[in-house]
Structure 1
Amino acid sequence: MTLTDFEQAHLDLIRDYFASIESGVSTRAFFTEDMLQIEFPNRLNPKGQRSDLVSLIQRSEMGKKVLTSQHYEIVSAIAQGNRAAVEAVWTGTLAIPFGALSAGSVMKAYFAIFFQFRDGKIALQHNYDCFEPW
């Protein structure tokens, strides 16, 4: 199935979004003002979490204090209309000790992230994050 230019633009936006996270640049411009991010329960966040734009940006800023670097490798991506889904492998290098891990340790997780777009921006993001044991 061939992607439309519209759908390809959504996948390009996701790649740019991940690159922005990796470089530590603010991700605010990628989202609608009323965006919602839902992180389903996982090892790092056992109760899951719902974030609006303000809380998502705050969490991102906190993450910069916990990680010295992070990387997203997109394994697969698909887009249909105003929706896209990405399978990614995430790695993050700790700046501080976390649980049994020391500073400098690398965490790894497998993400399935589902996006919904409006006006060329992310309006809804669902994260299914599966972290390797630490």
Structure 2
Amino acid sequence: MENKTIKDGVFVKLEMVKRFFELCETFSTLESDFQPLLHSEIEQTEFPNLITSGVVVSNYEALMQRIPNGKKLLKEQKYDIQRVYETGETLIAEVIWTAEAGAAIGSFKAGQRLKAYFCCIFEFKDGKIYRQRNYDCFERF
């Protein structure tokens, strides 16, 4: 029986994206968790939204440094994939993100519920996530 997660030793795109979101949900800081998923030349771009005032581009090192920041603010977070579209080396995911603030930081209050609608575009190279672009629409908080 064929393993639907791995094909020819490489994670299938959707399974890779699901695993990436799972690692983000648990605030994993282990590079060994991310190495099978993320290309060494990954570039993640987050476009302006209610939290991020300008375009933020992160390479592998910056991305690994940003992950622990989420844990400082959030008690929990969940990525709920609604739809995916795949063409060639690109996977587009529509995602509903929910979270609970774990600390009172800036305009956030501990226990505050947050919700956003994400459109995430993942490009793959060498069987790994190479580019990610996020268009995040947060509900007002």
Q: TM-score scaled by structure 1?
A: 0.89
Contact 2:39/2:125 (8 A) holds in 1 = yes
Contact 1:36/1:123 (8 A) holds in 2 = yes
Instruction: Indicate whether 1:15 and 2:8 are aligned.
Output: no
Higher helix share: 1
Unaligned runs of at least 5 residues, structure 1? none
Q: Find the counterpart in structure 1 of residue 34 from structure 2.
A: 28
Q: TM-score scaled by structure 2?
A: 0.85
Superposed CA deviations along residues 46-89 of structure 1, whole A, max 9, x for unmatched, are 11201111111111111111111100010100111111000000
CA distance in 2, matches of 1:91, 1:122: 23
Q: Find the counterpart in structure 2 of residue 61 from structure 1.
A: 68
Query: In terms of mean alpha carbon deviation, does 69-78 or 90-99 score higher?
Result: 90-99
| SS at 2:111 equivalent | coil
Give the letter aligned to residue 14 of structure 2. Answer: L
CA apart distance, 1:98: 3.7
Superposed CA deviations along residues 11-48 of structure 1, whole A, max 9, x for unmatched, are 11101111111122235322111110111111100112
CA distance in 2, matches of 1:121, 1:40: 22
CA distance in 1, matches of 2:108, 2:69: 18
- Aligned identity (percent) is 33
CA distance in 1, matches of 2:21, 2:41: 20
1:116 to 103, 106, 123: 123
1:77 to 74, 84, 95: 84
Give the letter aligned to residue 43 of structure 1. Answer: L
Q: Find the counterpart in structure 2 of residue 127 from structure 1.
A: 134
| SS at 1:69 equivalent | strand
Contact 1:28/1:53 (8 A) holds in 2 = no
Instruction: Indicate whether 1:45 and 2:48 are aligned.
Output: no
Give the number of equivalent residue pairs: 129
CA distance in 2, matches of 1:11, 1:79: 9
CA distance in 1, matches of 2:68, 2:61: 11
CA distance in 1, matches of 2:43, 2:98: 24
Contact 2:20/2:34 (8 A) holds in 1 = no
